[in-house]
Amino acid sequence: MRCYDPFTMARYIEKRKTGVWARFARQYQIHLFVWMGLAFLFVFSYAPMFGILMAFQNYDISTGFKGIFSGPWVGFKYFIEFFTDPMFEAILVNTLSLSLLKLLFSFPFPIIFAIMITETRNMAVRRCVQTVSYLPHFISWVIVSGLVFTFFSVDYGVINKIFVFFGKDPLPFITSPAYYWFLAVFTDIWKDMGWWAIIFIAAITTIDPALFEAAIIDGAGRIARIRYIILPGLGGAVTVTLILSMGSLLGGGLSGSNFEQSMLIGNKLNAVRSEIIQSYSLRMGLGMGRFSFGTAVGLLQSITSVILVFGSNAFFKKIRGFGLF
């Protein structure tokens, strides 16, 4: 074991300190971005977590911020009230049904689209289609809802005008509960299919090209190469994406869009299908001033999402040998 005298150790420590500050001075622009991101997380993600206390209190907004720490404790009163609410079963069914439908239909489309893109030999067409496909992701749901009304409105919607032109009666896509789930899944696929396909395209590009060359030499056709090389190569990306989507099972399916769709496309006429846990929490908390009840509903959803993520990760680690963490 090497020994150092106190004078040598002091010089070494001083040199280390000087090196750290010198490196910080050289990289201050990078540190500025990092600390701005950390400040954003603290202000908008960690600091508001003190509001979780309202779920266990009879919070009165007139007491302001102090009421979060001084309100009377009521325990699990609002959680029990949510479970016994007459609307509980309906909003739970709506939330799970929308998320499962999106998982069933929205999840395979990006995979299929990614394979189609990578199998396109014309690079100009490939770049053009890929760029056009993920542009809708950057369009606000407010604008998307306006497009929905433009295309599916009974009075002036393009789709219903086509129906009338061919002698068919217009369909109440927006006002009828029977069509809401279709609109939600359809718009979700249109908006985010190209964006999610980027993940799977990146996964396909990491597959060893030697596997494709060997398969071609052995006489494997395009379908065989997709089945035995590309799909197994996508296993890791599919697993990670599925684990992440489990966390939003109660919040919005693959892309987490249930809330925006419920608030913008949903209305009183289709509320029996469009009302979900998030919109219900907002309506009860901010709309009706029941802040403690709304906080309890949101906290219950968040806890369930965390359990689903850890549970699905453990499940995939057991059956596939790896998970997200």
Number of domains in the chain: 2
pLDDT reported for residue 13? 54
pLDDT value at position 12? 53
In a domain, 65, yes or no: no
Q: What is the 3-state secondary structure (H, E, C) of 126-194?
A: HHHHHHHHHHHHHCCHHHHHHHHHHHHCCCCCHHHHHHHHCCCCCCCCCCCHHHHHHHHHHHHHHHHHH
* β-bridge partners, 57: 73
Averaged pLDDT of the chain: 85
Task: Please identify which residue in the block is written with the tokens 């090389």.
Answer: 229
Whether 172 maps to a domain, the answer reads yes
CA pair distance 38, 225, nearest whole angstrom: 45
Question: How large is the average pLDDT for residues 142-150?
Answer: 92
Instruction: Identify the sign of the CA torsion 36, 40, 311, 207.
Output: negative
Q: Could you tell me if 50 and 91 lie in one domain?
A: no
- Note the pLDDT tens digit of each residue in 166-224: 988 999 999 999 999 999 999 999 998 988 899 899 999 889 889 888 988 888 888 89
- Domain containing residue 208: 76-320
Residues of the chain with pLDDT > 90: what percent? 27
- 274, 90 Cβ separation under 8 angstroms: no
Specify whether 247 is located in the same domain as 306. yes
pLDDT band of residue 104 (cuts 50, 70, 90) is confident
Q: Do 85 and 29 sit in the same domain of this protein?
A: no
Which single residue is written with the structure tokens 């697993």? 239
- Is the model's pLDDT at 253 over the cut of 60? no
With a threshold of 0.85, does the pTM exceed it?
no
The answer as to whether 125 is a domain residue is: yes
Average pLDDT over residues 137-143: 91
